[in-house]
Amino acid sequence: MAKTIKEIAFVVTLGTLLSKLGGMARQLIIAGAFGISASYDAYNYAYIIPGFFLVILGGVNGPLHNSMVTLLAEKNKFDSRQLITSINNILTLVLLIISFLIFFSSDFLINIVGPSLNPEIKEIAASQLKIMSPIILLSGLIGIGFGSLNAKKDFLIPSISPFISSIIIIIAISNFWINKDNTTELFALDIEGGIILAKATFIGALSQYLIQIPFLIKKGIFAINFSIKTKYSEIKRAWRMIAPASLSSGMTQINVFIDLFFASRIVGAAAALSYSTFLVQAPLGIISNTILIPLLPVFVSLRAKKNHSKLVKKVNQGLIISSTSMMFLGSIFVSLSTPIVILIYGRGSFNQEAIDIVSQLLIAYGIGMPFYLCRDLLVRVFYGIEDSKTPFKISIIAIFLNLFFDWFLIGGSSPWGDLSPLNLGVNGLVFSTTFVNFFACIILLVKLKNKLDTLDLSNLLSQNLKIILIGFLSGISSFYIFNIIYLPYSFFTLLIKILISSGASLIIFYCLLLALKIDDIDNLNKFFKEKFIRL
């Protein structure tokens, strides 16, 4: 029996929520064990390249995953198995070569990624990169497998697989934290902790691949065959989808590399960016997967049926849901940044300095949150209509913009001194990303308007300006409500204050949505009820 969008959304939301809770626990353990230390700072540089491939090729809702969903949607088991095997063989050979190259050039690559890092951090990072280099090979196998499972209506395993990886890291780091000898020389302790973290990350990635094999076998689409048996036209179509989509998303990861390149000048910046990014990505990932994974097959189906009016309606609904959810979350992150950081990370090695830095970054991320999800939604719309070249071209432009604004917003250093009047420190890197995402949203909307001429951009602009106003008012409300409530300080009273102020802000936010009539709120409620809540 075919699953409805509501059932798919429930499974994806449940699995993603479990994975995000596991990720949260993982970050809590890492924060307590390492804080903003050399070992975790080094890890963020060592993980750039393996993480690049894992996100691009192995990530659920990533380009390889989305391409496989599109390519296999209408194929039977035999044709699916042949296409999967052929793509697997080609990708495995390429990624195996890259993995070896990364392993043997780890020192050189760390010097490129973090040129301003001190020698101790570079040494730790190079060792970590060697350990994690096989993740590059695993990433392709993971992405193809999860995309294939989603195409065959199996959504649970891809959604919960990151949870398994998080559990492995939690066990390894907890053991290190409990048993570490604080009398040991700090650098030796950093090396030991860094190596354990890298090994746990590799084992976690391996587990994500191994867990999918029994389910691929059950679906009848798993085979070990070293030949390429599918039609050349099918392979060509597959790479026409996968290559530009991967390169397009790769541009986003290149922007991360650019950020860390400039962050290497600032001690502890990479670790601080990692902690703050996680706080943003946790709810963003849940909402993103809940919206985008169920909607992508709908976009594909409506494009195939040439039902442009319904496609435009779904795009409008997705954009309004993205804007409202992200604006509310952003307002909470801005107004309650310090209490949230204290609640989540404020223990162990995570000291007051770390709290201050990460709180400021959370505010910067909160301001830009609406553009993150809207950009991702629009990119998926283009994937759904089999146009991956447009997002790719826009991403190339975005890289150069990010490079310039990263440089400009942290002082504009040069051999002749600082050329920029602004030096926002590590916060400047986040504001640069916000501007780039805003630019990408605008251009993607204009390009989409050329393809779907009934898309009403003026109405979308009007609605989003209202949503920004609503977010501003609800954010102010949550800030004052939090400060009005007086309770003796403890972990639980802090949690209660955050929940009360956030809950009151949500009520205010919703009432303002009704009052300002955001895109026919009755239909929006119906959409949530039918698609995203299991009754």
Confidence band of 251 (pLDDT split at 50, 70, 90): low
Confidence band of 496 (pLDDT split at 50, 70, 90): very high
In the predicted structure, residue 534 carries a pLDDT above the cut 50? no
Q: According to the model, what pLDDT value does residue 503 have?
A: 92
Q: According to the model, what pLDDT value does residue 131 have?
A: 94
User: pLDDT > 90: what percent of the chain?
Assistant: 19
Q: Pick the residue with more confidence: 490 or 455?
A: 490
Q: What pLDDT digit, counting tens, does each position of 258-311 carry?
A: 888 888 777 778 888 888 888 888 777 777 766 766 666 666 666 655 666 777
Running DSSP on this structure, what letter comes out for residue 521?
Answer: H
Task: Pull the structure tokens for residue 223.
Answer: 């085979």
Q: Pick the residue with more confidence: 300 or 368?
A: 368
**CA–CA dist 207, 149 (Å, integer):** 16
Q: According to the model, what pLDDT value does residue 74 have?
A: 58
Helix H segments across 305-351? 308-335, 337-345
Q: Are the CB atoms for 152 and 70 separated by under 8 Å?
A: no
Distance of alpha carbon 285 from the chain centroid: 6
Q: What pLDDT digit, counting tens, does each position of 46-81 carry?
A: 998 898 888 777 666 666 656 666 666 556 566 666
Confidence band of 533 (pLDDT split at 50, 70, 90): very low
* Residue in the structure block whose two tokens are 């949550």: 478
Mean pLDDT of 486-505: 90
Pick the closest to residue 66 from 55, 77, 76 (CA basis).
55
Running DSSP on this structure, what letter comes out for residue 266?
Answer: S
Task: Pull the structure tokens for residue 212.
Answer: 């999918």
Q: According to the model, what pLDDT value does residue 170 have?
A: 93
**CA–CA dist 194, 33 (Å, integer):** 11
Q: According to the model, what pLDDT value does residue 332 have?
A: 93
Q: Which residues lie across from 178 on neighbouring strands?
A: none
Q: According to the model, what pLDDT value does residue 1 have?
A: 42
Q: Which residues lie across from 410 on neighbouring strands?
A: 423
In the predicted structure, residue 191 carries a pLDDT above the cut 90? no
Q: According to the model, what pLDDT value does residue 532 have?
A: 43
Q: According to the model, what pLDDT value does residue 72 have?
A: 60
**CA–CA dist 360, 337 (Å, integer):** 7
When the pLDDT of each residue in the chain is averaged and rounded to a whole number, the result is: 79
Q: Are the CB atoms for 8 and 155 separated by under 8 Å?
A: yes
Amino acid residing at 400: F
Q: Are the CB atoms for 426 and 263 separated by under 8 Å?
A: yes
Q: What pLDDT digit, counting tens, does each position of 320-343 carry?
A: 888 888 899 999 999 999 999 999
Q: What is the DSSP string of 208-233?
A: HHHHHHHHHHHHT------S--S-HH
Residue 233, classified by CB atoms within 10 Å of its CB into exposed (0-12), middle (13-18) or buried (19+), is exposed
Task: Pull the structure tokens for residue 384.
Answer: 């759904």
Range of weakest confidence among 32-46, 78-92, 153-167, 400-414: 78-92
Mapping DSSP to helix (H, G, I), strand (E, B) and coil, where does residue 54 land?
helix
In the predicted structure, residue 363 carries a pLDDT above the cut 90? yes
Q: Are the CB atoms for 369 and 401 separated by under 8 Å?
A: no
Helix H segments across 73-155? 77-104, 106-113, 119-132, 135-151
**CA–CA dist 365, 269 (Å, integer):** 15
Please tell me the total number of residues recorded for the chain in this structure: 535
Pick the closest to residue 301 from 314, 288, 290, 291 (CA basis).
314
Amino acid residing at 89: N
Q: Are the CB atoms for 3 and 298 separated by under 8 Å?
A: no
Q: Which residues lie across from 423 on neighbouring strands?
A: 410
Give kind and range of the element (H or E) at residue 129.
helix 119-132
Rg (CA), the chain: 23
Give ∠ CA 367-370-374 in degrees, rounded to 5: 150
**CA–CA dist 160, 149 (Å, integer):** 13
Distances (CA, A) of 32 to 35, 248, 344, 346, 474: 6, 35, 10, 8, 32
Q: According to the model, what pLDDT value does residue 339 have?
A: 93
Amino acid residing at 235: I
Q: Are the CB atoms for 43 and 188 separated by under 8 Å?
A: no
Task: Pull the structure tokens for residue 332.
Answer: 């909470």
pTM of the complete model: 0.74
In the predicted structure, residue 21 carries a pLDDT above the cut 80? yes
**Hey, where are the domains in the chain?**
1-22+262-535, 37-230
Mean pLDDT of 379-384: 77
Instruction: List Cβ neighbours of 307 (8 Å cut-off, separation of 6 or more).
Output: none
Q: What pLDDT digit, counting tens, does each position of 97-146 carry?
A: 999 999 999 999 998 888 878 888 888 999 999 999 999 988 888 877 77
Amino acid residing at 76: N
Q: According to the model, what pLDDT value does residue 277 have?
A: 85
In the predicted structure, residue 381 carries a pLDDT above the cut 70? yes
**CA–CA dist 115, 375 (Å, integer):** 31
